[in-house]
Amino acid sequence: MTTPRASALVTDILAALASDDVLTTPEDVAPYRSDAAGVPTERPPAVVVIPRTVEQVQAVARAATRHRVPLVVRGTGTGLSGAATAPADGIVLSTAGLASIEIHPGDQVAVVGPGAVTDHVDAAAREHGLMYAPDPASSRWSTIGGNISTNAGGLRCVKYGVTRDAVLALDVVLADGRLLRTGHRSVKGVTGLDLTALVVGSEGTLGIVVGATLRLVPAPARVRTLVVSTRSLAESGRAVDVVTGSGVRPSCVELLDRGTLENIDGHSGTDLVARHGNGLVLVRTDGPGADVEIETLAAALDAAGLRAELLDTAEGERYHELRRTGRGPVTDSWAAGEDVAVPRSQLVAMLAEIEAIAARHDLEVQAVAHAGDGNLHPGLLARRRDGETRPPARLEVALDELVRAALALGGTISGEHGIGTLKRGWLADELGAEQIALQRAVKAVFDPLGLLAPDSFLADAAAAVPTGSIVNGPLTEAGEDEALVAAGTVPA
């Protein structure tokens, strides 16, 4: 905090916020420098602010505008694309102080602050027999604001839809401090352009979400689980195809390859490889039809010559939790994770591409997938050689080929984690120059000075960012509490 501009900025902010909620020392701001992607900018932010009221958020936005200082909003920092990376010499606005949760059972909605933790919202809803459906594997830590801004998916989304499907209305503070209210509390509503949907998934580029009205659904009283043991990635893909074509809409279809099972066994002390061989597909049904649906799925899998095993409730919960949080960090290899998604019909083809790319570049694979949605998180691993200080070039080349393979199959570069700062190099390949220009023009309407998330996917320099910047990142969705704590991402 040495420059006159930074001092004037902090003085302005301190006029509106308590001094304990304004952090400026290198030690205090350090935990806020990067998200779970772990790639900070060269210089730290000038200040981290933790507003407690919407008015304080507005005051911070006005200070940012007055002093022309960039601002990045931060939930818990579990994001995997660098979208919450602190802007050099700028402001990080943490939403930790805005975590209120109100449940309105009559309307089946939750009205929450952006800093409310996803699982806390769900737990509060369940006290009224309701459920907040979108459940990213990070839901124990992630915030609703972060979920909204990345349009997070999760394990239940195959049945209940992603975050966008659950957001009815938003309160948004614009870069100049104005407060905008979008959407409606009624289940239906079509008045005007759908700015709520526009803000969802905008990665903090359009405004600061300070409140959200979320749709709740009846909590299912019954959940059933089966697991399919497979001999290969291709067979896992076939199992997913059978489930998708069964006529049943399951509430979870997750794929774990052999590398992932080995990782979980090593980290969580399980015997998944011994029990399931080269792969596992985890399938759940829920609600009043859970029993008949799971039996229909088991019969369809059996008819297709696949080995399905029905689990009791406790085992079902255990497998579900192992998928969410059972994996550990990869320490002996350079690791890079992706988040591509392909049309459901192309899942088997994409899995074959992943195996071929890994073989071509002498890499190992650890893949998990929200397979029912065609959303894959393949991790590519290059064993670390003695004295090696940089990831090998072949890892970058393989990542590039993997993303391009997804695009060639009609897919997308990001199914749920967002583009952030790390995937900008592929943006034009998916959107094209014309659409990027239009999206930048939309941002300019909301944020004419370009202060919010200045290094985001809409940054001017997008085309110049090398795709290889992701290579030092952690393995996507490593699901490892200690690693996140060490990175300052979640509270210890």
Ligand X SMILES: Cc1cc2nc3c(=O)[nH]c(=O)nc-3n(C[C@H](O)[C@H](O)[C@H](O)COP(=O)(O)OP(=O)(O)OC[C@H]3O[C@@H](n4cnc5c(N)ncnc54)[C@H](O)[C@@H]3O)c2cc1C
Q: Which residues bind ligand X (CB under 6 A)?
A: 35-36, 72-80, 83-84, 95, 114, 136-138, 142-143, 145-147, 149-150, 152-154, 203-204, 208-209, 416-417, 453, 477-479, 484
Taking the complex as a whole, the smallest distance from the CB of residue 120 to ligand X amounts, in Å, to 12
The percent of the chain in helix, strand and coil, each rounded to the nearest 5, is 40, 20, 40
Instruction: Between 209 and 242, name the residue whose CB sits nearer to ligand X.
Output: 209
Instruction: Between 235 and 416, name the residue whose CB sits nearer to ligand X.
Output: 416
Cβ–Cβ < 8 Å for 466, 425: yes
The phi and psi torsions of 63 (rounded to 5 degrees) equal -65, -40
Instruction: Between 298 and 342, name the residue whose CB sits nearer to ligand X.
Output: 342
Task: Give the tokens for residue 185.
Answer: 């509390």
Instruction: Between 16 and 174, name the residue whose CB sits nearer to ligand X.
Output: 174
Radius of gyration, CA atoms only, the chain: 22
In sequence order, the β-bridge partners of residue 308 are: 228
Taking the complex as a whole, the smallest distance from the CB of residue 221 to ligand X amounts, in Å, to 24
Residue 323: helix, strand or coil by DSSP?
helix
Instruction: Between 155 and 306, name the residue whose CB sits nearer to ligand X.
Output: 155
Instruction: Between 22 and 137, name the residue whose CB sits nearer to ligand X.
Output: 137
Residue 142: helix, strand or coil by DSSP?
coil
Give the number of other CB atoms < 10 A from CB of residue 374: 25
Taking the complex as a whole, the smallest distance from the CB of residue 47 to ligand X amounts, in Å, to 16
* Terminal CA-CA length for the chain: 27
Taking the complex as a whole, the smallest distance from the CB of residue 431 to ligand X amounts, in Å, to 18
Cβ–Cβ < 8 Å for 216, 122: no
Dist CA 32 CA 92 (whole Å): 7
Taking the complex as a whole, the smallest distance from the CB of residue 475 to ligand X amounts, in Å, to 10
Instruction: Between 61 and 306, name the residue whose CB sits nearer to ligand X.
Output: 61
Taking the complex as a whole, the smallest distance from the CB of residue 92 to ligand X amounts, in Å, to 9
Dist CA 391 CA 388 (whole Å): 8
Dist CA 279 CA 257 (whole Å): 4
Taking the complex as a whole, the smallest distance from the CB of residue 312 to ligand X amounts, in Å, to 25
DSSP state of 87: P
Instruction: Between 70 and 114, name the residue whose CB sits nearer to ligand X.
Output: 114
Residue 433: helix, strand or coil by DSSP?
helix
3-state secondary structure string, 356-369?
Answer: HHHHHCCCEEEEEE
Q: 27-61 in b/e burial notation, b at 16+ Cβ within 10 A?
A: eebbbbbbbbbbbbbeebbbbbbbbeebebbbbbb
Taking the complex as a whole, the smallest distance from the CB of residue 16 to ligand X amounts, in Å, to 18
Dist CA 49 CA 73 (whole Å): 10
Which spans in 272-344 are helix H?
272-276, 290-303, 313-325
Instruction: Between 122 and 203, name the residue whose CB sits nearer to ligand X.
Output: 203
In sequence order, the β-bridge partners of residue 285 are: 224
Taking the complex as a whole, the smallest distance from the CB of residue 164 to ligand X amounts, in Å, to 11
Instruction: Between 137 and 227, name the residue whose CB sits nearer to ligand X.
Output: 137
Taking the complex as a whole, the smallest distance from the CB of residue 395 to ligand X amounts, in Å, to 20
Give the number of other CB atoms < 10 A from CB of residue 361: 19
